[in-house]
Amino acid sequence: MADLLANPWLRGLLQGALLITVMMTAVAWISWFERKFAGRVQSRLGPTMVGPSGLLQPLADALKMFQKQELIPSAADSLLFRLAPPLALFLALGGAAVLPITQGMLASDLDVGVLYVLAFSGLLAFPIWMAGWSSSNKYALLGGMRMVAQGISYEIPMVLAALVPVVVTGSLSLSDIVTYQATHHWLVLWPPGLGLIAFIIFFTMALAEGNRIPFDIPEAESELVAGPATEYTAIRFGLIASAEYVHSLITCAFASTLFLGGWDGPFLPPLCWILIKTVGLFVLITWLRWSLLRVRSDQLMALCWKYLVPLSLGILLLTGAFIQWVG
């Protein structure tokens, strides 16, 4: 057994399979939670029929998705149309590989973990654009274009905000960043004030990146049917939808790793802390989703380019100065 695990390829395969299973299961329950919460906000009950309090509803939904007929529009670009959903899920899941779950428990301790996660989630705009372009549907195309426009807006303040922990810890490796936070301060509190603002900017932009209200501009269901996913049916639609949930979840885990100390915390075991923080951020995202309205595309771009880019640049400069002169 130990010999087998010494084989890096086999070990990578096992780790990948485990991570994907865990993430997809988590996504199933999280979508259940979101539906339940949405129900309670709107004075409904949410899913109740499948399993106790509807807990098996995501499973039933997945089965339904697998059984449904798949339709590809005859005018669609068939290859891109088929390629987009699996690519979206692949890019969304990819980020999970470097997230430190507990001390020393992560699939791959990359030196450039922060860059890796940001690159993977930044690339997620591509499959969405592919889906929008290849569907040969005006709603899908508009959705895809909005995704690209949104992508070039949110990415810069997000990356600049994510650089604040990197500047403080002097490392791009996520496990180093968590270790720093476990031994020094959580980076949401350090440098005082600046860390909090960086966290808020990062989290706001994560909402835009995950296409969550108030920034769900690409799929705006009241304007664009389902945006780039309009023409998708059956499991292809399921892949796109689950990619968005996976991505939200990984962004939450990433934000709690960068700013909230990752697995660090008193009394409870590290695994509990990372779960509490990630789920807590996801609850906040869901809560925001059912409270706020959608902003317009130009409003998001104005927010990003006119306010958040200068603000995050300033924060980054001040953090550098803080590290240089205060410590």
Partner 1 sequence: MGYLTATVQALYSTLRQSLKKPTTVEYPKVVRPRAARLRGSFALLKDAAGDENCIGCKKCEKICPSDVIALTTVKKPSPVTGKSRGYASDFTLNLQGCIICELCVQVCPADAIVMVREQERPAFSREDLVLTMDRLYRNGENAERLAWATASILAETQDPERTCLKK
How far is Cα of residue 102 from the mean position of the Cα atoms in its chain? 19
Minimum CB distance to partner 1, residue 104 (Å) = 37
Which one, 46 or 94, has the nearer CB to partner 1?
46
Closest CB to partner 1 among residues 48, 102: 48
Shortest spacing between CB 45 and partner 1, in angstroms: 5
Shortest Cβ distance from residue 291 to partner 1 (Å)? Answer: 4
Contact present, 202 and 162 (Cβ < 8 Å): yes
Grouping H, G, I as helix, E, B as strand and the rest as coil, residue 102 is: strand
Closest approach of partner 1 to the CB of residue 280, in Å:
14
Least separation in angstroms between residue 283's CB and partner 1 is: 11
- Smaller CB distance to partner 1: residue 37 or 305? 37
Q: Which is nearer to partner 1, 11 or 44 (CB)?
A: 44
Nearest CB to partner 1, comparing residues 43 and 222: 43
Using the minimum distance from each CB to partner 1, give the nearer residue, 44 or 64. Answer: 44
Short-list 195, 150, 171, CA closest to 301? 150
Q: How far is the CB of 41 from partner 1 (least distance, A)?
A: 5
Q: Which residue has the tokens 């030196």?
A: 111
- d(CA 82, CA 24) in angstroms, rounded, equals 21
Burial of 302 (0-12, 13-18, 19+ CB in 10 A): middle
Amino acid code (one letter) for 273: W
Contacts for 153 with CB less than 8 Å, ≥ 6 apart: 208, 300, 301, 304, 305
Question: Token pair for residue 207?
Answer: 């909402």
Residue 8 burial (CB < 10 Å; 0-12/13-18/19+)? exposed
Choice between 199 and 273, CB closer to partner 1: 199
Is 66 or 307 the residue whose CB approaches partner 1 more closely? 307
Report helix, strand or coil for 215. coil
- Least distance between partner 1 and beta carbon 290 (Å): 5
- Closest contact distance (angstroms) between CB of 214 and partner 1 is 9
Buried b (16+ CB within 10 A) or exposed e, 111-122: eebbbbbbebbb
Residues at the interface with partner 1 (CB under 8 A): 37, 39-45, 48, 287-288, 290-292
CB environment 70-86: b (16+ within 10 A), e (fewer): eebbeebbeebbeebbe
